[in-house]
A and B are shown apart, each in its own frame.
Chain A
Amino acid sequence: MANAELALMAHLMRRAGFGATRDELETCVEQGYEATVEQLLHPELAPVLDEDLLRRYHVDQNSLMLIESSQAYWLYRIINTQRPLEEKMALFWHSLFATAYGKLNHAKAVVNQTNTFRRCGLGDFRNLLLELSRDPAMIFWLDNKDNHKDAPNENYGRELLELFSMGIGNYTEDDVKACARAFTGWTIANADYMSVRASRDSIWPHGRLDWQFQYLPEDHDDTDKTFLGHTGPFNGEDVIDIICRQPATAWFVASRLYGFFVSDTPNEASIQYLADRFVETDGDIRQVMRALFLSDFFRGDEARLAKVKSPTEIVAGTARLAGSHQFPDWTIVNLAMDVSFMGQEILNPPTVEGWHTGREWIDTGNLVERVNASSLEMGNLGQPGVQAALRRVRAAGDALAPEQLVDACLEAVGQFEVAQATRESLVSHAAKDGVLEFGERGSADCAESRIAELLQLIVATREYQLA
């Protein structure tokens, strides 16, 4: 099996998921690139993650009341899912429609929103915006529960246009006002009681109470509105219809997808290509994603390692590679805390604009966190993924020169693309102990330790920080 094919597949799985083991890469290459893309685009054909074990052992992850519990729960899902693109799309939409626990004091409400992203994230963008507008966490987050017929609150209407669909410069202040009026009466049930509870972070008497969407026709402004040149007694659905027909919306979604899945560096032609697919398909996200993954700009050299891994990607990807956390264990919360320490508190983004990505993921402090956390996982010889890597290196020969050893280790973990300088550094380290020989039991233990040490160094490289 050619390394070029494996490298392309590793690229796809890093972007459309959270990485893959060498065994998984080989299976994907055997079925072919296009077939793998189709498989990713249809998560509904793969099994749902069975959560009964998780709920049994983590009583706190059963109710999802606390933010740390909910973060650990999502991380466990990402690590163990057989639907990687479903989770990746959920993370994408969560990053774009950023809704934070911090204001809501209701972790499960944000988790519920991510469930909507799982269900609708590869579907019709219009439907996604409609679901988002009805989502209780969003209604609370951007104050639409306070958007009344006689006293409009523009917060959601403004962000829907500015941050969720068209982008600033493509609408007027009057459009914002009309948009807000269209969403009057879109609220949550028992809004007063839920507001009191949220404002004092009340968990009493018996924990959180879930939120439900409620439409109050008597609180909806059903008079005529003029919105983006159209006039009528618009409700929220009508406004979303108009938004989704705007070229600015196509460009907006295409540019965000490009930035998340292709490269940290924008490319106008490639974004326009995706925007055209958005228009052609009436905003069918699955078809846009298919076009993205099959495009030359995605498969080509320029997109390789062109993104800095987010903290979620690096932590979950390393756990998947190491084969750790495949069964509920209390340490998963520490892994979730690692993600937060690296600057990405999932379910609790810093603002409605989400996280600053790309190079901003890395500074001197969290680079150490990223390297240490990854090295710790890959240095654990008891993990099945590490054992699988050891077996692959062992199969490369009875005696391995430093260059052979480094190449075998890189290939064993699917890290096919490293700079010459990186490889030379690894070889230099491996050469300190000379040729690696597998022999008697004692020396085999020594060989395993040397290999594990190299695997730890590989996940500490510059290239491993990149997706």
Chain B
Amino acid sequence: MTTVATLQYSHTLGFMANQGRGFNNPVDLAIDSEGMIFVLNRAGPEVGVRIAYKRITRCTSDEQYLGEFGGGGTGDGGLWWPSSLAFDREDRLYVADEALNRISVFGRDGGYLGKWGVGGAETGQFNRPSSIVFDRDDNLLVADSLNHRVQRYTKEGEMLQQWGEFGDGDGQFNLPWGLALDAGGNVYVSDWRNDRIQKFDADGAHLASFGSSGKGDGQFSRPSGLAVDGQGNIIVADWGNERVQMLDEDGAFMASFRGESQDSLWAQDYFSANPDEAAARWSASLEPEIEHRPEYDSHRGYEWERSANVEKLFWGPTSVKIGPDGLVYVVDSLRHRIQIYRPGL
């Protein structure tokens, strides 16, 4: 078996678009059995024409746009604060919504199939489900963020198990965000406000915790989505540090990525159609010198400001997914794109 030492930037998928070809604040993606990519556009705010920007976009990793479905709304099939999506073994698409506290189900053609879920703190209820992933038995794990726990449901919405409570001890959570499984069925949770990753066995027994608060290697600032590759390496969207980190299966730091996006094909099309804007862009410095103002330290952080200025960098990465071809997809939410990496030495 080849040991993956790091990742190499491959290309970028995406373009800012309120509707049609492109994304609008994407927060997650899922890949069906045929390799088609479904990108979840959360968009916002929830007002007027902006509501229509919410949607699910279908495309391929080589940047073919295949259409969109869904849309903003609170009725059946509507999206309001969509947070996460996942395919079951029958290629049905499950979509979690943090505002509506429900799971909606769609066919891969976008047809609406149903919904389940009840908002609340009782057993069998959830409050702002932030991430969903199917386990080896095709049951759905849910990060029940405001209840600080992980839940397991059947595909029909019958609750099977839950674990976790508020706290910072082993097996406790503070507003968990992301979920991932490894090949062995172990469950990884990005424990958002505890700035760490927790690892559980398939039954929810705590195995390990990785990371602490900070900016250093192996430290985290509010980790969001994560994925585990075939070698057991953990790839984490270190949201608050505006980067992606790679840990080995024991949680040891391997590499860090700040982002290096280049223009997607969709972006290149835009500049072909707008040569005056393209000319001004090519003569500009896309990595301007940034003044380190005092408020950056006490506000959202210097790295957040850097990402607001330097387009190639990650800005608000929310999700990491690994495709069947081994490509690593990082959902770069504030830049309306997916930065794609390939395994490398």
Contacts and interface: CB of A to CB of B under 8 A. Distances in A.
Interface of A: 48, 51-53, 55-63, 66, 68-69, 72, 108, 115-116, 118-119, 189-190, 192-197, 200, 202-210, 212-213, 330, 333-334, 337
The interface residues of chain A, by DSSP majority, are classed as: helix
A206 B15 contact: yes
Contact of A206 (B99, B300, B335): B335
A213 B224 CA distance: 33
Contacts of A108: 308
Interface string B191-205: 011000000000000
Given A52-B222, A69-B45, A207-B334, A59 B316 contact: yes
A330 B97 CA distance: 13
A337 B175 CA distance: 29
A197 B128 CA distance: 37
A241 B280 CA distance: 37
A247 B270 CA distance: 54
B290 interface: yes
Contact of A210 (B283, B309, B316): B309
B52 interface: no
Interface stretch (B114-122, B160-168, B246-254, B261-269): B261-269
B50 to A, nearest CB: 7
Contacts of B128: 57
Given A205-B266, A206-B335, A210-B309, A60 B44 contact: yes
B83 to A, nearest CB: 9
B267 A330 contact: no
What's the interface size class on B, roughly? 35 or more
A248 to B, nearest CB: 30
A200 B16 CA distance: 15
Interface stretch (B56-64, B149-157, B291-299): B291-299
23 contacts: A51-B300, A52-B193, A55-B316, A56-B177, A56-B224, A59-B318, A59-B334, A61-B44, A72-B45, A115-B295, A116-B295, A118-B295, A190-B284, A190-B285, A193-B281, A196-B277, A205-B271, A209-B309, A210-B305, A212-B288, A212-B309, A213-B291, A337-B47
A193 B336 contact: no
Interface string B219-263: 000101000000000000001100000000000000000000101
A327 to B, nearest CB: 9
A25 B150 CA distance: 42
A207 B335 CA distance: 6
Q: Which of A48, A210, A334 has the most CB of B within 10 A?
A: A210
A59 B25 contact: yes
B52 to A, nearest CB: 14
B43 interface: yes
Contacts of B295: 115-116, 118-119
Contacts of A57: 81, 98, 128
Contacts of B264: 205
A192 to B, nearest CB: 5
B337 interface: yes
Contacts of A194: 284
Contact of A205 (B15, B44, B239): B15
Given A212-B291, A213-B291, 4 more contacts: A48-B298, A63-B334, A204-B270, A205-B263
A68 B177 CA distance: 26
A333 B336 contact: no
A51 B193 CA distance: 12
